[in-house]
Structure 1
Amino acid sequence: MKLLSDLDVSGKRVFVRADLDVPVKEFTVKSSQYSGATRLTNLKNTIDYLYKQGASKIIIAGHIDRPEKPDPELSTKQLRFILEQILLRSVYFAQNLEKQVEGYLVLLENLRFFQGEEANDTAFAVKLLSLADIYVNEAFGNCHRNHASMVALPRLLPHAAGLHLAKEVDELSKILKGPQKPFVAIVGGAKIETKLPLVEHLAKIADFVLVGGELPVETKDKQMTFPQNVLVASLTADVKDISDESIYQFKEKIANARTVVWNGPLGLFEEGYNEGSREIAGSVIDSGAYSVVGGGETVEFLAKNNFLSKFSFVSSGGGAMLEFLSGKTLPALKALE
């Protein structure tokens, strides 16, 4: 994977593919500390680096949600002010790709408003190509998507990983290749079809894989069996959180851990069932283990309960983190080779 230090950006226009997929309705003027802003704050070091290295223009591009057609409520224009607060620079907005916008730091409209982005269309990538001389990927959370701005465009330009994306890959690679033992993985949330490859792959590496959230119900319904080091939680009577017995069992395993990775809440915290997640978060922090956490709901829960800053590394990827830790090749990372 090529790094920013491999490129000479002086006097060049740089296209930065950012991870802008944040819940814009939850942002306010003073919300830069909100958990959803993590993906935006991850941009700052790369933007500062490009500025110091003499880039002539920086273009920030990304998407919000999954619009079927252009929708003002999903316009990236809504992020202009919060980006100015984070980056400490003026940000200019470009609604279309044809008209060049004056200004050093330009924010493009939601890329998914344009035909061709999600189809990984080369013709759309060529349109984006006309805007820049160099490509930088700072959108780890979208690296599992085979989209034009993620895969086709970097193949047409000198390219590199952004500073945070490179760190993200390094941190997650360490978990797969040489975690300090004992290594405990915590997998929660729902959708066993997306979490099963993760559980199976981590079971080969981790000392224990602790499974909670809605997954115990799904695994029971499908009569799934796992290796002995995979511990599937029992749930409360209303099946909305892990049981006290499982909390105790999980905390016992975490207490001795030196590495912990966590993706997916252990209960329906959005409905107030957060005891399991809260107890396990406290246990991870108290263990002193090197801790990596990811997934939108998990990060949101930890941020709202003032736990997030106590974790060693926060991954900006949900699905991308799952696929990476499942041992899969992410198409956008392959495009950076």
Structure 2
Amino acid sequence: MIKVADLNIPVIEDFDINGRKVLLRIDINSPVDRKTGKLLDDSRIKAHAETIRELLDKQNSVVIISHQGRPGDDDFISLEEHSKILSKYVGREIEFVDDVIGPYAREKISKLGKGEAILLENVRIVSEELIEAPPQQQSKTFLVRKLAPLVDFYINDAFATAHRSQPSLVGFPLVKPSAAGRIMEKEVSALSKIFNKEDSPKIFVLGGSKVSDTLKIIEHLAKNRVADRILTGGLVAELFAVAKGINLGKPNMQVLENKGLLSLIPRARKILLSGAPIEIPVDFTVEKPSGELSNDPENNVSGIIKDIGNTTIEIYSSFIKEGKVITLRGPMGVIEDERFRIGTKSLLKASIESPGYVIIGGGHMISMLDKDVEINPNKIHVSTGGGALLLFLAGDKLPALEALHMSWVMQSGKS
């Protein structure tokens, strides 16, 4: 059992899941090459192999469901290729079934032997899966009513989709004993440290271009006094600098205006006035009109801001070394250009070398991890979250976790 906020999330050990028929919801939604229709990255598929292998080793019959893309999009494809890649990583055949709730799929599930696994077709070919509704409503969908009677347990290992309230994520826990899979368990365990008051000081490194989303996170952290320091970079830092009254120069103001961010200045100013522990860069790496790079103080910027400056890196790194829990989300600079990755990479390095527990989230930040960095799971957590991580940090409820808690309450009679 994992306790996160006011929720109790059951895990595999809370049940006798041996030699049973298990419905496993995973998230192997992967980037697709538009020209060939082939998968460009299989990291999510590889990550789910652990839970599947464990269930098969316990002689369970495993029925796997997942989604890929959305109808109408280029990445809305079959899961047939996914099944072959999954088989490679699990080390056993994962048979692909070209159906979800029809007679063919149900027959395959009924005849599935112990220690065998099948992957059903893209669950989003079932139109109900595109509708978001409360768990009680989703438990009555055709998807749930057709598949639930055929299995003994439901396991949700799709943390990256935990912010969705779709039938495959929230419907089954109301009608079957349910638990979190290993990825879900690791994510929830790691992220619960963020709001555990004993794990302090807490340092947040927040940057990137999704300014409105990041402001929502900061507002929640400030309101609940979660953060000891919030180190800002990217457009988020520029917005706070302007809100503080710092003149970043006309070109940078134009950038903020072009991105529709000037309207967020009052919101940023309100956060500053609330006493939130916001740290703003004292210098920036800028690109002048001539193309020359310069390290300028925040009140004398001579070009377009591209990264945090050298002094800021030193100051931020010293704060990071003090942290017991360090959470990083969003890059410090324009990392699409290799010249402006120094700030992001430096803070990642400082975090990994610090004595604190490190949580790294967001695709851009994760992509900046050096390939040779050894990820010690007891020290570093790389989140698969995306939208789920964002909402978790912002204090929003995650429907998939709520549903697992509801299932536990129903099974145990506790609240």
In 1, Cα distance between equivalents of 2:125 and 2:336: 30
Structure 1 unpaired stretches of 5+:
none
Deviation at 1:180, TM superposition (A): 3.1
Matched, 1:116 2:128: yes
Matched, 1:288 2:321: no
For the structure 1 residues 187 and 297, does the alpha-carbon distance in structure 2 shift closer, same or farther, using more than 3 Å as the test? same
Matched, 1:94 2:113: no
Deviation at 1:321, TM superposition (A): 1.4
Contact kept? 2:70, 2:76, Cα under 8 Å:
no
Deviation at 1:292, TM superposition (A): 1.2
Tell me which of 75, 79, 84 is aligned to 1:76: 79
Deviation at 1:228, TM superposition (A): 4.8
2:231 counterpart SS class: strand
Instruction: For 1:322, give the aligned amino acid.
Output: L
Contact kept? 1:189, 1:266, Cα under 8 Å:
yes
Deviation at 1:308, TM superposition (A): 6.4
Matched, 1:330 2:334: no
Contact kept? 1:198, 1:322, Cα under 8 Å:
yes
Instruction: For 2:50, give the aligned amino acid.
Output: N
Instruction: For 2:216, give the aligned amino acid.
Output: P
Matched, 1:249 2:270: no
Quote the residue 2:44 is aligned against: 39
Quote the residue 2:229 is aligned against: 208
For the structure 1 residues 308 and 150, does the alpha-carbon distance in structure 2 shift closer, same or farther, using more than 3 Å as the test? farther
For the structure 1 residues 281 and 126, does the alpha-carbon distance in structure 2 shift closer, same or farther, using more than 3 Å as the test? same
Q: Deviations over 1:22-69 (max 9, x none)?
A: 22449xxxx9xx9x54433332332233223331x2122112233336
Give the number of the structure whose alpha-carbon radius of gyration is greater. 2
TM-score normalized with structure 2 length:
0.71
In 2, Cα distance between equivalents of 1:281 and 1:4: 33
1:241 counterpart SS class: strand
Matched, 1:190 2:239: no
Tell me which of 277, 285, 305 is aligned to 1:229: 277
Contact kept? 1:210, 1:250, Cα under 8 Å:
yes
Deviation at 1:280, TM superposition (A): 0.9
Contact kept? 2:18, 2:59, Cα under 8 Å:
yes
Q: Deviations over 1:73-121 (max 9, x none)?
A: 6322222222122211111111212113476211122222320102045
Matched, 1:6 2:14: yes
RMSD: 2.6
1:270 counterpart SS class: coil
For the structure 1 residues 270 and 107, does the alpha-carbon distance in structure 2 shift closer, same or farther, using more than 3 Å as the test? farther
In 2, Cα distance between equivalents of 1:2 and 1:258: 27
Tell me which of 32, 38, 50 is aligned to 2:55: 50
In 2, Cα distance between equivalents of 1:270 and 1:125: 43
Tell me which of 149, 152, 166 is aligned to 1:133: 152
In 2, Cα distance between equivalents of 1:178 and 1:185: 15
Contact kept? 1:202, 1:209, Cα under 8 Å:
no
In 2, Cα distance between equivalents of 1:266 and 1:308: 22
For the structure 1 residues 64 and 296, does the alpha-carbon distance in structure 2 shift closer, same or farther, using more than 3 Å as the test? farther
2:64 counterpart SS class: strand
Deviation at 1:327, TM superposition (A): 2.4
Deviation at 1:301, TM superposition (A): 2.2
Deviation at 1:243, TM superposition (A): 2.8
Tell me which of 18, 24, 36 is aligned to 1:16: 24
Contact kept? 1:115, 1:124, Cα under 8 Å:
no
